[in-house]
Structure 1
Amino acid sequence: MFLENVRTALNALFSNRMRSLLTLLGVVIGVFAVTTTISMGAIATAGITGELEDFGSQKIIVFTPRDKPLAPNFSDDDIEALSRLPLIVQKTQDAAGFAKYDDKEIQISLSGTSADTADTKIASGRMYNNQDEVYASNVIVLTQDAVNNLFDKDVDPLGKEISLTIANSRTSFTVIGIEEKSGGLLGVGTGDGGTIPLSSFYSVVPYAKKGEYGYLPMQVDLDANVDDLVAQVKSILERRREKDSFSVNTIKGILDTFGTITKILQTILGGIGAVSLLVGGIGILNIMLVSVTERTREIGLRKALGAKKNVIMQQFMIEAIVLTVIGGIIGVIVSIASLYLIVAVVPFLDKVIISPMVILMAFGVSVVTGIVFGVWPASRAASLSPIEALRFE
């Protein structure tokens, strides 16, 4: 009898294909939203964690707040004071300009970093050294993206001369190295960028001010207590400048902040997905009530021939559950396909993370939705009087 009810339920659904499709659409959207939201949170967290670890999990960054545009830059004296701590303070300045090789020209983000504090990872070639710094050599290390956009595939960029144009001033530089690419979220080794000795930076960037830095990255030993060092950095800078004229952050702090934001977004978007499921459930309730009304005479005939209440109720419950199960399966499939597409498109996302528990939860919720919103129509169908049902027009 159960299999017969399943067959009858499927026939009823397929005989009204368009109505069934529109009914399960709400379930598909809800399951898709819930599955994608939770999975994207895990994927993004993993991707960003990897990026931050590549950037340097033991790194402190001091910068002037954006809401304090008049706050003074950091000075060489600040660096000297901070250098008494067990860390390495990087001297670095940034500028924007254009790089050209043959007939190709790109916009480039240029960084000038002191050779003795640079921590750039090199994929090929070499990093500039202290001698290059002393003589302000016109040498540059390019990011992989800059190499790809500036040179043809069959051209080895190492040893080639490119021209840099900064504030209408053009200078030739020799490419001596290519940075290691590490994703893109933090701009490390990615984008159209280049790094040159700080002394060379001062000679080619007219508006660069020697001894002034908008931010100070600091390298910390892996076994160091970062929290203690942050407290000491704050203490030193508070004695040298106003408290609200600087901010101190760590990679771990950035990661914690991101984790909090991710959880909030997951909750909000998951709630939207739950609302979609609720709307889908209401749609199922509505359509099942319509179905009961349309098939009143059929129900009356079956009951007159001896069908019991539980058999009638079972048939309509199966219809509701089948709708939500199909919607759940489609929603999960679309979600997985979307996640693979997103990971393929977004540079810093490395792999698709889909928890079986998330799929089971989404699938289970869709089934429960069918049960909850199918009970009333099924109960109503089962409680119809055979005589009244047969009289129904």
Structure 2
Amino acid sequence: MHPLLGVEEGIKEIWAHKFRSMLTMSGVILGVGSLMAMFALTEGIAAGSRAFMNQVGGIERVEIRDSPVPPNQEDIAELSPGRTYADAQALRRSASLLESISTEIDYGGKLTRLNFQTNPRLVGVEPDNLVTDKHEIEYGRFITEMDLSERNRVVVLGRGLIADLWEDENAVPIGETVLLNGQSFTIVGILTQYLTDSAKRQKALGITKEQEERRKARGNFKKGRTYDPFWYKNRAALIPLTTMQNLFKASNVVNGVDQGPDPKVSRIVVRIADVNQFNAAIDQMRNILLLMHRGIHDFGFDTREDWFEGIERSIRATRFSGGLIAGIGLLVGGLGITNIMLASITERIREIGIRRAIGARRGDIFTQILIEALVLALLGGIIGIGVGYGLVQVLVWAAPSENAPIVTSISIFISLGFALLVGIIAGLYPAYKASLLSPIQALRYE
């Protein structure tokens, strides 16, 4: 029997019993739609998480932090100088597996312009901070080696600070002067504004602007503040590391005695050149730092591996639970197809007998019934794809999330593949039962 003939017969049978066929396909439609929506949601979460990780430095970013010394070294812990700028210099000289190294010093304070004042994330940085933290410059430039050597009073501001100090949040105040803890600094650069997917969509649709206009219409001229996962970039005030040491870290008072400039740094951030040599790079840094810290293991490494693996585990768990729910829907759809095919066979016993009598083989009958079941499942799957896509769009419109769902061609093919698999399994028993019918008994059936 030619497969196309089976497809034609299957379509005729569906058309002859439209309402019954639609009810039969409903389980497959819901199952495939749920499966596709689940794939889109998890793909959106995965893409959003990877994009966020990339914006905050990527998996190659490693931060060297303080760590409690082991119990067997507690008595000699004071031998270590702690995390200092000398550690960064040693890594630059000897750590061949690192792409870039940046030393950072945090300091609290106030940022002032005219009558406007705000609280920045004030950090002293080196030029390599542009690479290690993956900053993007919208206007102007970043901190340079000349700024370090001459201890220039220059600052690079995040977009969130511009919005606080200027009435126009899109202002470009390159060359203007602001006060950091009462000290004058010249703005030389502005970082790109970092937004979540949801915030980008709201800004593109003008929702954020409408909210600001409604707030002003109510007489509230104070700018609203919502949680910003990129606050540490959008509210950053970055100055040369040497300027930070000279202006704000020039003294280090211990037990009432000024020890001079504080050699400690807040953190050392590195970027590993090749992720395939990640563990080797960590071991290389550990050996260099142990030498610098006189054998005292008072440091550790904050990596993104555990974070990334946690995200992947969460996504796998979501896919499993969503797939289980969609699988139940497909199972119900498969049972419906089996039931309707058995009913169809009962109605067509004489037709099957006639076909057998004029030469149709058992295999031909088996193939025809199986193809009809596949046609039912395939049509249900195609409609389910449309339902799933529509469901995703409704979710995006009704409740914009941080990670917009993404419909991929792979998810469509997988969903259709499951629909066809359900059709094959559901059609096996009815096809087998129909192929066993005796031509004589079938012709006698009333």
The two structures have a TM-score, normalised by structure 1, of 0.65
Match of 2:348 in 1: 299
Corresponding position: 1:238 with 2:290: yes
> 1: CA distance between counterparts of 2:114 and 2:376?
62
Q: Secondary structure at the match of 1:235?
A: helix
CA spacing shift, 1:359–1:79, aligned 2, 3 Å: same
User: Given the alignment of the two structures, is residue 156 of structure 1 paired with residue 205 of structure 2, yes or no?
Assistant: no
Is the 2:175–2:186 contact (alpha carbons within 8 Å) kept by the matching residues of 1? yes
Partner SS state of residue 188, structure 2:
strand
Quote the offset at 1:178 in angstroms.
Answer: 1.3
Q: Does 1:64 align with 2:76?
A: no
Matched, 1:109 2:121: yes
1:82–1:233 Cα contact (<8 Å) kept:
yes
Q: 1:81 to 1:13 in 2, by over 3 A?
A: same
Equivalent in the alignment of 1:175? 187
The one of 82, 91, 105 equivalent to 2:103 is 91
**How big is the shift at 1:381?**
6.0
Equivalent residue in structure 2 for 1:4, among 5, 9, 20: 9
Q: 1:90 to 1:11 in 2, by over 3 A?
A: same
Q: Tell me whether 1:140 sits opposite 2:155 in the alignment.
A: yes
**Could you tell me whether the CA contact under 8 Å between 2:130 and 2:136 is conserved in 1?**
no
Instruction: Say if 1:34 and 1:270, in contact at 8 Å, map to a contact too.
Output: yes
Shift of 1:109: 2.7
Q: CA deviation at 1:7?
A: 1.9
Mapping of 1:194-209 within 5 angstroms?
A: 194-198=237-241, 201=244, 203=247
User: In structure 2, what is the Cα distance between the partners aligned to 1:29 and 1:147?
Assistant: 44
Contact 1:109 1:193 in 2 (8 A): yes
Q: TM-score, normalized by length of structure 2?
A: 0.59
**What code does the residue aligned with 2:267 have?**
Y
Map Cα deviations across residues 138-180 of structure 1 (whole Å, 9 max, x no partner): 532113454456541563322344465xxxx666654221135
In the alignment, structure 2 segments of 5+ residues that lack a partner are: 198-228, 254-261
Q: C-alpha offsets along residues 13-58 of structure 1, whole Å, 9 cap, x if unaligned?
A: 54464563344211322344457657875x5697478658xx5898
Say if 1:111 and 1:195, in contact at 8 Å, map to a contact too. yes
Q: Do 2:32 and 2:381's aligned partners in 1 also have CA atoms closer than 8 Å?
A: yes
Query: In the alignment, which residue of structure 2 is the partner of 1:21?
Result: 26
Cα offset, 1:216, TM superposition: 0.6
Return the alpha-carbon distance in structure 2 between the equivalents of residues 345 and 132 of structure 1.
Answer: 41
How far apart in 1 are the matches of 2:263 and 2:352? Answer: 92
Whether 1:321 and 2:330 are equivalent positions in the alignment is: no
Which moved further from structure 2: 286-295 or 328-337?
A: 328-337
Q: In the alignment, is residue 281 of structure 1 matched against residue 286 of structure 2?
A: no
Task: Name 1:216's counterpart in structure 2.
Answer: 268
Check whether the contact 1:36–1:335 (CA below 8 A) recurs between aligned residues. no
Deviations 1:189-240 (Å, cap 9, x if unpaired)? 9433221233554656999993222421246889xx8876644431132241
Partner SS for 2:238: strand
Distance in 2 (CA, whole Å) between partners of 1:315 and 1:73 is 78
- 1:363 maps to what in 2? 416
Alpha carbons of structure 1 residues 320 and 38: separation in structure 2 relative to 1, 3 Å = farther
Whether the aligned pair in 2 keeps the contact of 1:106 and 1:150 (CA below 8 Å) is yes
Amino acid at match of 2:241: L
1 or 2 for the larger relative contact order (CA 8 Å, sep ≥6)? 2
SS across alignment from 1:90: strand
CA spacing shift, 1:117–1:361, aligned 2, 3 Å:
closer
- 1:272-330 CA deviation, whole Å, 9 max, x = no partner? 45534542332123223443566576335645776877787666545542343244435
Give the number of equivalent residue pairs.
Answer: 372
Counterpart CA distance in 2 for 1:67 and 1:317 is 69
User: Is residue 61–residue 215 contact of structure 1 (8 Å, CA) maintained in 2?
Assistant: yes
Query: Residues of 1 paired with 2:335 and 2:273: CA distance?
Result: 64
Structure 1 partner of 2:204: none
What is the rounded CA distance, in whole Å, between the counterparts of 1:277 and 1:315 in structure 2? 28
Contact 1:112 1:201 survives alignment (8 Å): yes
Q: Aligned letter for 1:373?
A: A
Asked if structure 2 preserves the Cα contact closer than 8 Å seen for 1:89 and 1:219, the reply is: yes
Question: Partners of 2:263 and 2:313 in 1: how far apart?
Answer: 41
